[in-house]
Structure 1
Amino acid sequence: MDQAPRDAFDHADPLRRLTLDELRLRTSMKWRTYPDDVLPLWVAEMDVPLAAPVVRAITEAVARGDTGYPSGTAYARALADFARARWGWTGLAVERTAIVPDVMLGVVEMLKLVTGPGDPVVVNCPVYPPFYQFVTHMDRRVVEAPLGEDLRIDFTVLEGAFRHAAAGGGRAAYLLCSPHNPTGTVHSAEELAAVAALADRYGVRVVADEIHAPVVALDATFVPYLSVPGGERGLSLMSASKAWNLAGLKAALAVAGPAAADDLARLPEEVSHGPSHVGILAHTAALQDGGDWLDALRGGLDDNRRLLADLLAERLPTVHYRPAEGTFLAWLDCRPLGLGDDPAAVFLDRGRVAFSSGPLFGTGGAGHLRLNLATSPELLTEAVRRMTVAVA
């Protein structure tokens, strides 16, 4: 009898549901890395309660002791249904998917399939720092193709990077971040088709990290890379973890285009042992039944993007911020403040507010910081107040 009121909350903005005192009870990285006097708006965890269908899936699994090894294709079928309903994409074939522990470990496995030791991997910087860490740790080398001033793919630069990567005679890959982290750029169908054409011309294999795919503005449209002309040879990694705040419940899916099915078939069977069975149940429930919660979140993020733009215009007008169409992240150009290469360090020291440091994102990151928008309007307002105090 009490289920309907709980589910009714899934229509309300989840970013407005939790107080700071409630959030500080959490024991995850976001809330335990810094002392209690620091307001954390850095790592990509959201300040939200879980969607009701996800809570049910987890609690029911625990109640029946269903905590063994993962099995079946329910996660892939749920993603295929979600892709069809949300993106109009009917080409996600369950038989061309594989469960992997998480997106970045899945990226590693896909790169192992299409490149060898010492081979180049092109990235668009500034970009998610683990792109550098995981690629170099697996004995590949990063080739940077910086984004343009508009924070979109610069195709002249990208072609130069592809040409350089292909010149060595080995196998080259392009690790595409879509939507892009940290800028929040949502690549258009035309841009992705142009990527596919360039990749085909230079023999570069595309591996797409599409973890933020469900988290776009209400008036924006995400386009799966594998859905565009020429994307058939691509490999994609997808997950419900970012959109429904499930990072601690490990599970992701590798998806192959039709011309990459043989590559995915070579994935070692033991890789599928890494995901959490309970995680898969949670991710499946999110994709199947978490749409109302997701749309409420997307509306709240739209509000926060506008709020941040207004706050910065009023209090820190020299900081450049371009509200993005995707992710729950904001990329701030703080160079006019004269705080050096790492303004996040200054705001942490002087303002006791934690952001992600721009230099970690590679070329183009100096003088910038990444702010996590997935918090309440009150905490976002307090963060900008602390920034203002720090530079007063």
Structure 2
Amino acid sequence: MDTTSPDDHPLRRLTLDQLRRRTSMKWRSHPEDVLPLWVAEMDVPLAEPVARALTEAIALGDTGYPAGTAYAEALAGFARERWGWDGPAVDRAAIVPDVMLGVVEMLKLVTGPGESVIVNCPVYPPFYHFVAHMDRRVVEAPLGPDLRLDLAALKEAFARCTAGGGRAAYLLCSPHNPTGTVHTAEELSAVAALADSYGVRVVVDEIHAPLVTAEAVFVPYLSVPGGENGLSLMSASKAWNLAGLKAALALAGPAAAEDLARMPEEVSHGPSHLGVIAHTAALRDGGPWLDAVLGDLADNRRLLAGLLAERLPAVGYRPAPGTYLAWLDCRRLGLGDDPAAAFLARGRVALSAGPDFGTGGDGHVRLNLATSPEVLTEAVHRMAATVG
């Protein structure tokens, strides 16, 4: 009998055969011979505290509408313990269906149709899709060559977008997807100062906040000087693999509380009650499980770096302290602007296509590290065979 605790190496618990029984997007978008390392789902069993909370709710028939502040209270406790931050005040928090729909609602509060939303490319593709769909104009402020925020590029974008007197927002990804960059307190304070000087409102996607290595420090944007006017979206979704259990929190700095209060009441109808229960349990009781995942991810970063050095030395990879994503520079492989297409067609490995991430994405792929060492190893071997 297997007596290993689920908290011991969650990324090594499930076999490929078990994973292929899943019916989610990751496992149903490609044929069974494809190794899926693309969309942000983790190959882990559900954390025991989350499974217990859901099981108890179902046993009670507790499947109605969400209510109360338990989710916000759990996040506040997690923030104090993990980040030393007392900032996510329960009275400045609102549940929203998920982070990207929350982003849309926050941008509606601080911009109007046709106005600008600044993003740091390469960046999470839905930033482009959702913003364009809501009739805002996406303006790129590329990351620097070191894949960190380029304050000069931001300043130029802020100045250009507000030159005619219109409103503009800055949609910040923190930690950054796809690069895994964790922004420092100094960088975020500089962002807040720039935003204030140009009258740009900052909306921050902080969904990957719990997924930061022990060697780095996640700094909530609302905690930095000048961040009082910001709006943030947080969720347990990525860190505990809860994408199918819809629930997120919109947070306002003290100076943005009135903006959040203007969010339409019907937005709160979208989150799932079971989602709220799951996210609350994760933040309140899922710390040991999360720590085990972080340990497995650290091992996988080292494994990937070694495999690439051995099998694909032409691929550029900088192990990053945030997220479970790897941003791979494949331009020297001669596979064109979209190497993910070649890796899928020839190697049967599904990765996220770099061009989808905007300027700076050509010739790159995004690889999801949140899998077993065996799957990761096989994926790199297949990728190498593609160009070998």
Counting only pairs closer than 5 Å after superposition, residues 190-269 of structure 1 correspond to structure 2 as 190-269=186-265
Q: Deviations over 1:49-78 (max 9, x none)?
A: 010000001111111100000000000000
Counting only pairs closer than 5 Å after superposition, residues 124-203 of structure 1 correspond to structure 2 as 124-203=120-199
Alpha-carbon spacing, 1:203–1:32, altered in 2? closer, same or farther (3 Å): same
Whole-angstrom CA distance in 2 between matches of 1:304 and 1:217? 12
Q: Is 1:81 matched with 2:82? A: no
Counterpart among 20, 24, 31 of residue 24 in structure 1:
20
For residue 324 of structure 1, what is the aligned residue in structure 2? Answer: 320
- How far is 1:10 from its partner? 4.1
| CA root-mean-square deviation | 1.1
Q: Deviations over 1:89-132 (max 9, x none)?
A: 01111000000000000000000000000000000000000000
Helix, strand or coil at the partner of 2:212: coil
Helix, strand or coil at the partner of 2:113: coil
Quote the sequence identity (%): 78
Q: Deviations over 1:142-171 (max 9, x none)?
A: 000000010000111111011111113211
Whole-angstrom CA distance in 2 between matches of 1:6 and 1:281? 29
For residue 387 of structure 2, what is the aligned residue in structure 1? Answer: 391
For residue 371 of structure 1, what is the aligned residue in structure 2? Answer: 367
Counting only pairs closer than 5 Å after superposition, residues 90-101 of structure 1 correspond to structure 2 as 90-101=86-97
Contact 1:7–1:52 (Cα < 8 Å) also in 2: no
TM-score, structure 2 normalization: 0.99
Contact 2:337–2:363 (Cα < 8 Å) also in 1: yes
- How far is 1:257 from its partner? 0.1
Q: Deviations over 1:356-387 (max 9, x none)?
A: 00000000000000000000000000000000
Q: Is 1:275 matched with 2:271? A: yes
Whole-angstrom CA distance in 1 between matches of 2:274 and 2:64? 8
Whole-angstrom CA distance in 2 between matches of 1:362 and 1:11? 37
Contact 1:10–1:292 (Cα < 8 Å) also in 2: no
Helix, strand or coil at the partner of 2:5: helix
For structure 1, the residue ranges without an aligned partner over 5 or more in a row are none
Contact 1:92–1:255 (Cα < 8 Å) also in 2: yes
Contact 1:331–1:371 (Cα < 8 Å) also in 2: yes
Helix, strand or coil at the partner of 1:364: coil
- How far is 1:9 from its partner? 2.0
- How far is 1:218 from its partner? 2.4
Q: Is 1:314 matched with 2:307? A: no
- How far is 1:308 from its partner? 0.3
Whole-angstrom CA distance in 1 between matches of 2:23 and 2:300? 25
Contact 1:334–1:343 (Cα < 8 Å) also in 2: yes
The number of aligned residues is: 388
Whole-angstrom CA distance in 2 between matches of 1:13 and 1:197? 42
TM-score, structure 1 normalization: 0.98
Counterpart among 5, 9, 15 of residue 13 in structure 1:
9
Whole-angstrom CA distance in 2 between matches of 1:139 and 1:6? 54
For structure 2, the residue ranges without an aligned partner over 5 or more in a row are none
For residue 337 of structure 1, what is the aligned residue in structure 2? Answer: 333
Counterpart among 310, 332, 353 of residue 349 in structure 2:
353
For residue 358 of structure 2, what is the aligned residue in structure 1? Answer: 362
- How far is 1:7 from its partner? 11
Whole-angstrom CA distance in 1 between matches of 2:46 and 2:328? 28
Partner AA of 1:210 in structure 2: E
Contact 2:340–2:353 (Cα < 8 Å) also in 1: yes
Counting only pairs closer than 5 Å after superposition, residues 264-303 of structure 1 correspond to structure 2 as 264-303=260-299
Whole-angstrom CA distance in 2 between matches of 1:90 and 1:235? 16
Contact 2:123–2:178 (Cα < 8 Å) also in 1: yes
